[in-house]
Amino acid sequence: MSLDYTFRIQAPHRPGSLARVAGAIGEGKGLIGDVTTLNVGREASEREITIEVKDHDHAGHVSALIGELDDVKVLWYRDRALIKHEGGKLTVEPRQPVKTVQDMRDVYTPGVARACTAILEDPALARRLTMIGRSVAICTNGTRVLGLGDIGPVASMPVMEGKAVFYRQLAGISAIPILIDTKDPDAFVETVKHIAPGFGGIHLEDISAPECFEIEARLIEELPMPVMHDDVHGTAVVGVAAAIVACRHAGLKLEEQVVGQIGLGAAGFGLASLMVDAGARKVVGSDPNEASHDRAREKGVEILDLDTLMREAEVVVATTGVSGLIKPETVREGQVILALTNPNPEIEVEDALAAGAVFAADGTSVNNVLGYPGVFRGALLAGAVTINTEMKLAAAEALADLTDESDLVPDALDEKVHRRVAGAVRAAAIESGVAHLDHAPAGL
């Protein structure tokens, strides 16, 4: 996997200097990305240049070549991703700034006592008078981090911070990472139950299967608030939306197709289940892990071997983590292929199309950041006690309807997309009877 390194370089302020630096980078097999001018002096200029390299040793080689140029200095070079994570990605800021003594009296003593008393008399007011109604706990034990595996809770913190960044930026929700240092489902569930009163919803993340299914089921049953394992359901929402759009590109309707799900882990099981709920004519699945079969069958998924699935399915979705698993010779004329493993899919898009697929896509744009912010915002706005199938399907359909003709999914960084998804989820919560609008937060 390539890495982006940022190099801070000082070079003479005269014609040709930057070209010489670029030449050295090219000689060292580096690929230039962003170039930012920091300052321009009478004698020298400083710039930060992002360079794609193979590894740290390669970065050192490129640095040495640049440093050999006359009057050019490499002031430092560092992994760009680590720079972006310095100090963490989150902070806590007040919504009500305290600027006067009266402000202090209102938000703290003595005014705060009236808010406490009001909540004591009517606990539902906590969602309106505190941050509880617009906050989510992101709970993990770090046992199944995408692409990294079981790295534990502390090492998974950058992922949780990233999730929280998107919650805030895209949905206006305050999300707090909660790291739970246990692999025991009982201990995990009890911990979440103890911290749950401080939040409006529980987002489960990067928990290994099958424990993740038990943990989620128990928390849904025992907590009166939205609980969702994002790896299962967030991925499913975005995957079903992508399948709807892919079928449209191919002139098909999802409800008339046989859908084949390759891989029945957390993401695959969620996708297959929501495909059943979305009304696909038939859903078949394949996974070498027999422990996943009964769970899938309970959701109406027929278990097949891989070759049979490829022969029967008209829409194929793969979430296995196994690059090259789908062989071109098994692709049938007119199939829709969504090979969603990143960064190397089960089959390359070009190979699938050359083999006869009518439409093919990889997981580059199918990111569950499109799902969870809007789903939880909609649930919180409805005062929902759960996130049900109707709400997930509403989110998937909204995403599909928001997708431009040339794309597979809408722009994940477009705030309007998440607001539209939230609106659809809120409406579905009300219509399906799980909303309590009197519990909806103020100021979200």
Could you report the per-residue pLDDT of 308-362, keeping only the tens digit for each?
A: 999 999 999 999 989 999 999 999 999 999 999 988 899 999 999 999 999 999 9
pLDDT for the residue 96: 87
Average pLDDT over every residue of 285-308: 97
Instruction: Tell me: pLDDT of 225 over 80.
Output: yes
202 φ/ψ angles, rounded to the nearest 5 degrees? -120, 120
Instruction: Tell me: pLDDT of 443 over 80.
Output: no
Bridge partners, residue 76, by sequence: 8
| Cβ–Cβ under 8 Å, residues 316 and 260 | yes
Could you report the per-residue pLDDT of 52-102, keeping only the tens digit for each?
A: 999 999 999 999 999 999 999 999 999 999 999 999 999 888 888 999 999
pTM for the complete prediction? 0.91
Between CA 430 and CA 316 the distance in angstroms is 33
Per-domain boundaries in the chain: 3-85, 132-231
Average pLDDT over every residue of 38-43: 93
Question: The tokens of 123 are what?
Answer: 């606990």
Q: Long-range pairs for 30-37 at CB < 8 Å and ≥24 separation? A: 30/58, 30/62, 31/2, 33/4
List residues with catalytic annotation: 108, 163
pLDDT for the residue 83: 95
Tokens 């929280």 found at: 164
Instruction: Tell me: pLDDT of 179 over 80.
Output: yes
CATH of 3-85, one of 3.40.50.1100, 3.20.20.10, 3.40.50.620, 3.30.70.260: 3.30.70.260
| Cβ–Cβ under 8 Å, residues 235 and 319 | yes
CATH of 132-231, one of 3.30.413.10, 3.40.109.10, 3.30.479.10, 3.40.50.10380: 3.40.50.10380
* 16 Cβ contact partners less than 8 Å away, ≥ 6 residues apart: none
pLDDT for the residue 343: 82
Run of H or E residues at 11 = strand 3-12
pLDDT for the residue 1: 72
Tell which residue, 14, 20, 59, 18, has the closest CA to residue 37.
18
Average pLDDT over every residue of 129-143: 96
| Cβ–Cβ under 8 Å, residues 283 and 277 | no
